[in-house]
Structure 1
Amino acid sequence: MTTVMLVHGAWHQPTTWAKLETELHALGHATRTPALPSAGEHPTSGMHDDAATLAAELATLSGPVVLLGHSYGGIPITEAAAGAGNVDRLIYLAAYMPDKEQSMYTLHGIPDPEDTDGLFPLVDEPRTALYGDLPDAEAEQAVSRLVNQTVRSFAEKVDAAAWRNIPSSYIITEQDKAIPPALQEQMAAQAAEIRRLPGGHSPFLSQPRRLAALIDEIVRSASTPMPGSTA
């Protein structure tokens, strides 16, 4: 059985995956949802700590594992999977897909911060940016569950890019208000294949069944298209 490890994005916690986990379990997949230490009530950890947490979790699994990162989660999965022998595929869901020596700052073309201590401000208008296609009540509940995120997590650069050696899929969310689709397209060009979903930044909440079916299709696909191909 394939284990799908779901890695949450910035300001989030593993509970955000509950609806998608239910759908993936129904399709016969096991799941893991590790908590990144860079997000929480009083976090101080950086991206390398997040990657180490994921690497430790991967070491407890015999495989095969499909490692999925959402949004910021794409950065630590890129580093963590580089030293793992049981990851069959990487999935970037509306996620940052850095190369070696890149960070979230790098990918946005923003200068590195002089001070990496402290917390990174929450994205402007999170209800619209993160949950624009959710009903008001559900979106408000999701916003209420957001936690703090460290500057270090966004500033630290990855030491290795696992997607250069492990087949990868990029799922572009076509009406995303958090990570512009144009930036997603640019990063997705590095992936072995590109998939697309209509809708906003958090399809695991707005369309979990459709997303689970797409993940299932990717997991079960035996072929590995050449970089830059689309589906």
Structure 2
Amino acid sequence: MKPSVFALAAAAALLTMAVRPAQAAPRTKPIVILVHGAFAESASWNAVIARLNKAGYETIAAANPLRSVKGDAAEVATLIRSISGPVVLVGHSYGGPVITEAANGQANVKALVYVAAFAPETGESSLSLSGKFPGSTLGSAIRAVATPNSGRDLYIKPEKFQTQFAADVPKGQAALMAATQRPVAEAALAEPSGVPSWKSLPSYMIYGTGDRNIPPAAMDFMAQRARMVKTVAINGASHALMISHPAEVVSMIEMAASSR
């Protein structure tokens, strides 16, 4: 007996259902964009990324050019616009001014997290903020290299890197960080910031009291001025907070990601 038209149609429908690819489950958590600062690079977020991924977060470690606040922020803003869902922006050190600028006009940014980072007001620069309070020893640790455009790239001297940047990081790891550090354009650190997005977005800050790049007093000042939702100061921690204290950094990011 020949199969009926209805039987053939049913079989075809079942076959289509069997081979149809499963649809991806809708994303319930924001994507976390991590922006490194001066003298670091994207891999400095590795320990944070591993924990966030394990907790179900999609992460992107942005390649920060470290050339100018506006230019670097434009690069990050392009990345933000490529994402359809909510985003949490996380910035370390000079990455703070970059995320502050990049978030402007981006409706899908739901929160900012400053990790040992500058949170500037309009007209302030990384240099002006780091010099607002005593405590930074960065100036004496810097090696400047002339660039073809008559500017200068700044590095931390390898022999001073651990003491200056990563005092609570194992010596071998700090040596690798010194060798792979990305230089920042001196002009970028002196560039005035624009409109501060932390005035309109929930913002969070975590820093170490042993930071020798940005004085802890400066970070406390910025946190209070911005009325951060939550501020955590880790006793004795260095500037390389995302490497020496990734669990605490992740906890802060998750708090920001769950904010409403």
> Which of 59, 62, 65 is 1:31 aligned to?
59
Q: For residue 99 of structure 1, what is the aligned residue in structure 2?
A: 121
> Which of 80, 84, 91 is 1:69 aligned to?
91
CA contact (8 A) 1:90 1:168 kept: yes
Q: For residue 238 of structure 2, what is the aligned residue in structure 1?
A: 200
What does residue range 81-160 of structure 1 map to in structure 2 within 5 Å?
81-109=103-131, 117-122=151-156, 125-160=160-195
Q: How many residues align?
A: 212
Amino acid at match of 1:195: V
CA contact (8 A) 1:116 1:151 kept: no
Q: What's the CA shift string for 1:77-115, capped at 9, x where partnerless?
A: 1111012111100111110110111111221348xxxx9
Q: Give the % identical residues.
A: 31
What does residue range 36-75 of structure 1 map to in structure 2 within 5 Å?
36-38=64-66, 45-75=67-97
Q: What's the CA shift string for 1:58-90, capped at 9, x where partnerless?
A: 101122111011011001111110121111001
Amino acid at match of 2:210: Q
5+ residue gaps, structure 2: 1-28, 133-148
Amino acid at match of 2:93: S
Q: What is the CA-CA distance between 1:177 and the residue it aligns to? A: 2.1
Secondary structure, aligned partner of 1:119: strand
* Whole-angstrom distance in 2 between the partners of 1:192 and 1:214: 12
* Whole-angstrom distance in 2 between the partners of 1:207 and 1:172: 10
Q: What is the CA-CA distance between 1:50 and the residue it aligns to? A: 0.4
Amino acid at match of 1:9: G
* Whole-angstrom distance in 2 between the partners of 1:197 and 1:3: 26
* Whole-angstrom distance in 2 between the partners of 1:62 and 1:208: 27
C-alpha change, 1:13 and 1:121, in structure 2 (3 Å) is closer
* Whole-angstrom distance in 2 between the partners of 1:165 and 1:3: 20
1:186 correspondence with 2:221: yes
Q: For residue 41 of structure 2, what is the aligned residue in structure 1?
A: 13
TM-score, normalization: structure 1? 0.85
Moved more, 196-205 or 18-27: 196-205
TM-score, normalization: structure 2? 0.76
Larger Rg: 2
CA contact (8 A) 1:170 1:191 kept: no
CA contact (8 A) 1:55 1:81 kept: yes
Q: For residue 220 of structure 1, what is the aligned residue in structure 2?
A: 258
Q: CA RMSD in A?
A: 2.0
Q: What is the CA-CA distance between 1:169 and the residue it aligns to? A: 0.8
Q: What is the CA-CA distance between 1:214 and the residue it aligns to? A: 3.0
Secondary structure, aligned partner of 2:62: coil
